[in-house]
Structure 1
């Protein structure tokens, strides 16, 4: 497709492509205001908007450069800003016990998905993304690992959509189960934080149990987010090891430099913001909102790459494996509280 087609320059097509992801992200936020969709949240709702658009109107190939920019570049910026949500001292201090338990949770989720993928003969990369999303922190973890294993945009979009759906179902299930469980509110919060998929899912499930339960839940969850960093480096090691055995000489995995930005933002949030520089809470919240919105735009770009025809044949087995792992993970976390 040449630059002058339809009278539009490549630069204008790039801008329009980004604009498409921006508008659909806004649509996702609006959809998330509707009862029912509010439980899924803006990320999941935006994925739905993008997937529905793709099935009805097809992929807007003319504007692919801008859509790819959102799904690749903005995604990395969002993950870097996501690091500002981490306070390393709190996790290493008050949450050290959770950190040990979270390590077990993540190992169980990832290894469990790999084992079931082999057993079910499911797509490996899609299963690995779902295992990472289940064990760590949903969409953000999937987005961080996808470029390391060179996953297709379609696989990334499918896995994020599945995580949003299953995580929401589990969160609602937790809320209904809470009155029947013979545990304290803080233990319930710890259970939710160690086992649910997204930060939003943890907040949704823990909030009805009170502020203390919510605080414990978020602490447990943030420990899992912190462990995304070593997990990515472990995956890099195994990918490189595999490539040395199977790939031609000179082919190597690209180092995900945006992870260093994620680490840097975590360090800034822990040791500079507050102790050295005072930044109003409202400003920090705005940065959080920006990172979430950029991630939502990226999810639109990924969702536009999802074909439901492929979803039926490719995602069913990984989905079944993920449900089994999520149920087993929930039981394991309950035993550890």
Structure 2
């Protein structure tokens, strides 16, 4: 009998994955946010989803059993949602939007990183911390920070500071960008390029874009994916710099190749494949409508997760200097992107 009980227990634990409770929590909260968003359209489901997440994390308590599912949604389901969004564009549109924005992306990435390093020096913030904030601000938020931390041998506290700072300004961007877009009377394409080149994390870019409109969301998604690809040459540059500074090019190159392979945004290829299939009319309109609705709900789940990652106590504990550097970097990236959009696009 004991053997049978053990087998049954093992079977049950194997059937229910660790991420299941957290994903179910996000599904429930996202559904509530979606319904409230319909009743309060001026606020919208995305903003409500973020604030529900922040309230649950800071006002209630999140048991450890949910954490795996929250991380799974942020890392895996977000990428799946982006792949599905490829059905909303043809490959010709993807190439046109990406080509239109690539010069602006290059300027934003280079200027954003250099200015953030300079701001860090002025405020006497740790060099690696300043670089991590700059990379996160200029390219793709927590993903870029996580990808480059191993190359820099960054301390855990530095990574936590940088990611917390990025999350804070993701939250601000989600609330502020649509308001500014309407204030400057931006059309859907211009706003989408601005969101895609200036907002930090991929999840927040999608949220900001689709809050402004479906066309803005599609443009922002495409621009952001092109921007994410800039992480690869940046990692090469950092890897070479670290190798020279350590005078140990052999080991550094091995670590670099592994880091690049691990960090490569494979979901971008999935997005392109879906766009190609859409170009050939593979998906009927009814199926495309369902896929896009499902992907937007996944994004809503991700935004609940973004809110759940905002811990005010930890942010206050890290001090003001990294936050000020993040603020200056965010403003600089937003302004540079805005100016060059109106020079090169409008």
TM-score for both structures, normalised by structure 1: 0.69
Instruction: Establish whether residue 149 from structure 1 lines up as the match of residue 182 from structure 2.
Output: no
Gaps of 5+ in 1: 1-7, 133-140, 179-184, 208-213
Match of 1:163 in 2: 170
Give yes or no for contact 1:75–1:295 (8 Å, CA) kept in 2.
yes
Deviations 1:52-88 (A, max 9, x none): 2111223311333333332333233334434445543
Asked whether the equivalents of residues 108 and 329 of structure 1 are also in contact (C-alpha less than 8 Å), the reply is no
Mapped partners of 1:31, 1:253: distance in 2: 42
Q: Residue 16 of structure 1: CA displacement? A: 1.9
TM-score normalised according to structure 2 size: 0.68
Show the counterpart of 2:234.
Answer: 235
- Higher mean alpha-carbon deviation, 194-203 vs 162-171, is at 194-203
Distance 1:327 1:12 in 2: 44
Q: Considering fraction of residues, name the structure with more helix.
A: 2
Structure 1 residues 174 and 71, CA gap change in structure 2 (3 angstroms):
closer
Write the mapping of 1:77-156 to structure 2, written as runs, cut at 5 A.
Answer: 77-93=80-96, 96-121=99-124, 123-124=129-130, 125-132=132-139, 141-142=140-141, 144-150=143-149, 156=163
Out of 327, 330, 337, the position equivalent to 2:338 is 330
Map residues 7-22 of structure 1 onto 2, 5 A cutoff: 11=16, 14-22=19-27
1: CA distance, partners of 2:111 / 2:231: 16
Q: Distance in 2 between matches of 1:279 and 1:300?
A: 29
User: 1:281 — aligned with what?
Assistant: 285
Q: Hey, what does 1:259 align to over in structure 2?
A: 265
Post-superposition Cα deviations, 1:192-212, rounded to whole Å, max 9, x if no partner, equal 34323435545666x6xxxxx
Aligned residues between the structures = 301
Alpha-carbon distance in structure 1 between the residues aligned to 2:230 and 2:300: 23
Q: Check 1:71–1:9 CA distance in 2 against 1; reply closer, same or farther (3 A cut).
A: same
Alpha-carbon RMSD: 3.9
Residue 172 of structure 1, CA deviation: 1.7
1:35-50 equivalent positions in 2, closer than 5 A? 35-38=41-44, 41-42=45-46, 44-50=47-53
Aligned to 2:34: 29
Given that 2:83 and 2:267 are in contact with CA atoms closer than 8 Å, whether structure 1 keeps it comes out as yes
Alignment check: 8 A CA contact 2:81 2:298 kept: yes
C-alpha deviations, 1:244-281, integer Å up to 9, x for none? 456977755262477223213313412x3342x53122
Unmatched runs of 5 consecutive residues or more in structure 2: 1-11, 150-155, 200-204
Question: Pick from 265, 268, 293: which aligns with 2:297?
Answer: 293
